[in-house]
Chains A and B, each alone.
Chain A
Amino acid sequence: MIALSATEAPAAKPQRPAATNTCRVCAPLGAVLAFRGIRGCVPLVHGSQGCATYIRRYLISHFREPMDVASTSFSESTTVFGGKSNLTEAIANLASQYRPEVIGVCTTCLAETIGEDTPGMLRDIARDASAPKTLFVATPSFKGCQHRGFHDTVAAVLAQTAQGGDRLRQINLLAGPVSPADLRHLREVVDQLGLPTILFPDYSDTLDGPSLAEYTPIPAGGVGLEQLARAGRSACTIQLGAVLDPGPGQVLLDRCQVPLKRLGLPIGIGATDAVFDALAEEAGTPLPDRLLAERGRLIDAYVDGHKYFAQKRVAVVGDPDLAAALCGFCAEIGLAPALVATGAATGGRLSAALTGLGIKGAEVLDDTDHDLIAGRLAALKPDLILGPSKSYPSARALGIPLVRVGFPIHDRIGAGRVLHLGYRGTQRLFDEIANTLLAHNQDTSEIGYAYQ
């Protein structure tokens, strides 16, 4: 809980012994989310069954989709004697119930602390030729939150699947923990460019699927293992997330010499130009007219709405990559970031990313909790909060409007359909932010004009 600033560093507070209203969840949740972006994959959490159950409930409340996550269900004796038999049994049981293409195994605090050699156990299990394939990632929560768990899983999966070889006309696109709608939009863009792309992970269908006549144990969609195997032969990896350093794309650079382009999430004109231009360059074609038209309409909307943002200050709360990208967008429209807060411990990288985006004067809370954020919100009194639904109690208490973005959104429906990325996502955000500020003025004014 160190307070840092992009420009003026206030005196670092001593680390508090307790977190109040935590702003992050645990690493295995990030792993589960990433595993859900692999075709035919069932996540298996190696530890107490509460871990899997809590993660399921938290994700279900956000995505409102089936979220089957298995557990090795540790007991007291497992904790003393080790979890190998539970792991073996769980994999066999999952295989017979779900018939998965692959089982994504992640660990918990418990498994990591008792010193389980989980990779060794998985190697032993794999000696049986009939055993299903497994992927493994170590995700002890005492080392990091869901953000790290997600990216560590992406890196671990690529390390276990990607093979080198002759270059193919394709790229890898690592988009980070964005929404299913964001993933669908990115897919649409690369399709329009005619650019073969391994988008990983891709839970756009698995976590935002249609109504079904029959329950499918594993929802359709996701990246296939055979595609992941080819990720080592891509022309380049485009990795989104300004705070990642170096990020999971480094694995493909180190192992398969796939060049890595690190860009911020495409929110706002500048950031979207950078990402879409990079994609167009790889495709060897100019951006299609349809995207340019979206870009043109967005700038036109910026002009229509610019006065509503003048002299306004915003607080941004969320995953560090999303927070940085949102700040870049806000600065672009004249909405000044006053407070940028993340629960992730970025070791100063969020501040550095904001400096890189030219954000000045914003107070940065890194590795923080909602109690500390609430205190700074009360002091700074921003005009607007961009954040998850966990920011709602503060927003309500202070009478500040909240535009819900990122994760988790537990008090509205359609979290999976929230589009943040591209010109189109920015357009949606822009309209919602402008209309939220307009509505706030209208609702709190004495007269309440219907003509604004």
Chain B
Amino acid sequence: MSLAPDSMLGARLPQVAVVGDGTVVACDRPSVAGSVTQRACTFCGSRVVLYPIGDALHLVHGPVGCAAYTWDIRGALSSGPSLHRLSFNTDIRENEVIFGGEKKLLRALRELITQHQPKAAFVYATCLTGVIGDDVEAVCRTATAEFGIPVIPVQSEGFRGTKKQGYSAACAALAQLIGTGDTTGIGKVSVNILGDFNIAGEIWTIKSYLERMGVEVVATMTGDGRVDAIRRSHGATLNVVQCAGSMTALAKMMQEKYGIPYIQVSFFGLEDCADALYQIARHFADPALLARTRQVVREETAAVLPELARLRTDLNGKVAALYVGGAFKAFSLVKALRQLGMRVAMAGTQTGAQQDYEHLKGLCDAGTILADDTNPLELAGWLASCDVDLFIGGVKERPVAYKLGIGFCDHNHERKIGLAGFAGMAAFAREVHATVMSPVWKLVPRRARHAARAELPVAPVAIEVAP
């Protein structure tokens, strides 16, 4: 197994390690120029976190591309208003580059707020409006005073860094809303969910578990989010953070400012989902709540185990690679794949931190390749050298797998299938099974190369032999 594909840049070597050989993964560094990084920019980070707030106006202050590329591409559902599915943009042109875009921004806010009557507005700064020096904050103050709704600037200029900096900017924007609502009526056993994006309704699945446990959900900030709920979210007594990379900063802020403790969890996979619910129950130290939680876990697990066992018989021994945005998803995937009898040969993240990679090492088998901020050439090298049956990633990773004739599952926000919770694990298993067990892989050149000929079911040819 080759650690470094032939074409790997020397500067990238420290960001790769093998489990068991004592090396560490260097991370938290800017992408190497000229490396085809799978990462995006600060704007992207802010946009993804705030995107699912369905009753807010999301106005991209910049050129048309930044808005076009983020129009309705994510599977974040809303139970009510769906303003987030529209793409609003100040469409900055040459004239504004020369004379400034503040006037156009204010006109845009006036027009859009009047038309759509949002509960709040987020104004995303982009590279362009950052460098032409627009005072977005001042325009937002004016609009706030004019319309009486929070109009919040998001400091998401793309050049500020990677998605990580964008997460911070989004958290800072959310922090401006939190604490401005009335907390009357919020009970003692109450949580906010941070960092679940309600892809295909996942947060509704999680909320149903919490309701059965007797836990009140005050705000689901980043999935099926609502401005008023976020404004009163400081009334909850616990913050449950799923996407740790994006939302831990906000949880820490709420701990400091409002004294709300937080826990980091993942709702992906049976093991992690059960653990998440138990962590929540234990926090409230109520034996009855813990008993109800056990009941939920027991019922939900029993409902899916037979199907998982059936699918596992086919998947046992298959090999997977994964490359995802944040580390918590990687942890859960390693465990979920193991539950299906599969081994992870390569795992990587765009934004993992040092302690995340150390934790990942503990979860993975010896010999597993770990990589930070990798690129298509490296991925293609590992997919081939590890001879994997499955690759898990996002849309940008898909063609690397497909071109090599390797199965692929989307675990990013563009997907339209719910994978969280217990039922989500069954959906994940079905998705993996449908991928890995497809007959098409027998035909691809990568497999055909190993065998003398593809093992295809063919009709027998009748040969008549003369007596």
- Mark A residues whose CB is within 8 Å of B: 16-22, 24-26, 28-29, 44, 47-58, 60-61, 64-76, 78-79, 86-87, 89-94, 96-99, 108-110, 113-114, 141-143, 145, 209, 211-215, 217, 371, 390, 393
Contacts and interface: CB of A to CB of B under 8 A. Distances in A.
Given A21-B87, A89-B33, A215 B400 contact: yes
Contacts of A76: 159-161
Contacts of B59: 18
Contact of B67 (A19, A44, A57, A58): A19
B123 to A, nearest CB: 11
A220 to B, nearest CB: 12
Contacts of A25: 64-65, 68-69
Contacts of A371: 86
B64 A145 contact: yes
Given A49-B40, A66-B399, A78-B159, A19 B32 contact: no
Nearest to B161: A75
Interface residues of B, number: 79
Contact of B68 (A22, A52, A73): A22
Nearest to A48: B158
Contacts of B90: 17-19
Contacts of A211: 403-405, 444-446
B43 A109 contact: no
Which of A20, A29, A50 has the most chain B CB atoms inside 10 A of its CB?
Answer: A50
B127 A54 contact: no
Nearest to B412: A57
B91 interface: yes
A417 B107 CA distance: 43
A90 B71 contact: no
A108 B448 CA distance: 43
Given A20-B89, A93-B34, A98-B377, 9 more contacts: A18-B107, A20-B86, A25-B64, A26-B65, A53-B41, A54-B69, A96-B9, A113-B131, A217-B7
A239 B41 CA distance: 37
Contacts of B107: 17-18
Interface string B439-463: 0000011101100000000000000
Which of A29, A48, A90, A94 has the most chain B CB atoms inside 10 A of its CB?
Answer: A48
B405 A68 contact: no
B109 to A, nearest CB: 8
Given A22-B68, A68-B376, A53 B44 contact: yes
A97 B446 CA distance: 22
Interface stretch (B92-100, B141-149, B306-314): B92-100
Interface string B29-63: 01111111111111110000000000000010011
24 contacts: A17-B104, A18-B91, A18-B107, A19-B67, A20-B89, A22-B68, A22-B89, A47-B127, A48-B159, A49-B39, A71-B34, A74-B127, A74-B158, A93-B32, A97-B7, A97-B377, A113-B97, A141-B64, A143-B93, A143-B94, A211-B444, A213-B449, A215-B404, A217-B7
B93 A17 contact: no
B71 A22 contact: yes
Which of A51, A73, A93 has the most chain B CB atoms inside 10 A of its CB?
Answer: A73
B303 interface: no
Given A19-B64, A20-B86, A24-B68, A50 B160 contact: no
A98 B7 contact: yes
A17 B111 contact: yes
A209 B399 CA distance: 11
Given A49-B31, A49-B41, A69-B36, A18 B376 contact: no
Contacts of B291: none
B88 A18 contact: yes
A66 B376 CA distance: 9
A217 B33 CA distance: 17
A286 B331 CA distance: 66
Interface string B1-35: 00000011101000000000000000000111111
B97 A97 contact: no
B395 interface: yes
Contacts of B108: 17-18
Nearest to A61: B395
A151 B279 CA distance: 58
Contacts of B86: 20-21, 371
A16 B160 contact: no
B186 interface: no
Contact of B37 (A49, A61, A217): A49
A141 B40 contact: no
B47 to A, nearest CB: 10
